[in-house]
Structure 1
Amino acid sequence: MAAANQIAGEFENWLNERLDSLEVDREVYGAYILGVLQEEENDEEQKDALRGILSAFLDEDSLEEVCQQILKQWAECGSRSAVKGTHGKSITQYMERAQRQPKDEKHNCQSVGEEMRDRD
């Protein structure tokens, strides 16, 4: 389990640094990207979902390059199952809890990200 935590931490650290270099909110977009990588069934679905997220702040020229960098780093840091075992359940639990809460009590993405970071 320690190795899986190290792999997850390694990818998240890399992703946070990459999002910072793009001057993007790592708490919001990092959680979305990590969720996509953990939850989508196949590579094509991951790629399509990543393109949708990245298109919010990247132009067409850099979109594909950054998408490929993220997918490559994800693959290099370990299999989806290794990371999902440590973090996928946490993200799903927080999102489900947020959906069950009344509208005025819902967590925003930033507070969910902070809660997850504090938990680790």
Structure 2
Amino acid sequence: MATATSDFEPWLSEKLKSLKTDEGVFGSYISGILESEDSVDEKKDALEGILSEIVEKDISTHIDEIIEKWESCRPKEEIPKPVTDVDVRLAQLLESQAPSTTTRREYTDEEKKIREAILSQYSQLSDNEEDVANDDEAASPDLVKNTNAADVHAAARERREQARLDAQKKKEKDKEDREKQKQLKEEKKEKRKTQKGERKR
């Protein structure tokens, strides 16, 4: 994914600059969406939500352009050659089933709170997923459930949620700044009117 990032990030940065928006905040949020394991339709929906905050028209054109560029920058995965040797296939199968050890990352209190809020929001499994999970547990009570994919998915969602919150904060701050500038203009205008009135007397 390194080559995808090295080609895509600068392009996205320029694209966001051309749309007159903060490429630092929105760029990381858009990259997080594209790097997720969501379907293309889900990615398009998420991008539409962001771009509707930035531009008013041609949103679908911008979305298609971003996804097309992302796809072209991603390295093509090599298709593995079929293995015919039974011994080699058996060895690969045994390797894939070997228990993996992972190290746990320690989170700060603030990160834990954010993580818990996000996980609780997305922790509701559909009935089908719950049934599959229950079947797996019943079939192999001695095996430890591998949660790597779920952890990676949750971390990606966490990053996207944080980026969305940052973007929202920036948007609100920009709005406040515009209001303050507008108010200052009004005050100066009133002051000038008052001064003109005093001079006429």
Q: Structure 1-normalised TM-score?
A: 0.62
Which is worse superposed, 39-48 or 9-18? 39-48
CA gap 1:100/1:74 in 2 versus in 1, 3 angstroms: same
- Indicate the structure whose relative CO is greater, using CA pairs within 8 Å and at least 6 residues apart: 1
**Distance in 2 separating the partners of 1:27 and 1:80:** 27
Structure whose alpha-carbon radius of gyration is higher: 2
In the alignment, which residue of structure 1 is the partner of 2:111?
Answer: 100
SS of corresponding position for 1:41: coil
Offset at residue 8 of structure 1 (A): 1.0
Structure 2 segments unaligned to the other structure (5+ residues): 78-104, 115-161, 168-201
Alignment identity in percent? 31
SS of corresponding position for 2:38: coil
Structure 1 segments unaligned to the other structure (5+ residues): 82-92, 111-120
* Residue identity in the other structure for 2:65: Q
Which of the residues 61, 66, 84 maps onto 2:62? 66
CA gap 1:75/1:31 in 2 versus in 1, 3 angstroms: same
Counterparts in 2 of 1:103-118, with a 5 A limit? 109=166
Question: Cα RMSD (Å) of the superposition?
Answer: 3.3
**Distance in 1 separating the partners of 2:48 and 2:17:** 18
Contact 1:36 1:46 in 2 (8 A): yes
Which of the residues 12, 25, 47 maps onto 2:22? 25
Structure with bigger helix share is 1
Which of the residues 41, 48, 51 maps onto 2:45? 48
Contact 2:3 2:75 in 1 (8 A): no
Matched length: 91
Runs of 4+ off more than 6 Å: none
Which of the residues 5, 8, 16 maps onto 1:8? 5
Offset at residue 57 of structure 1 (A): 1.2
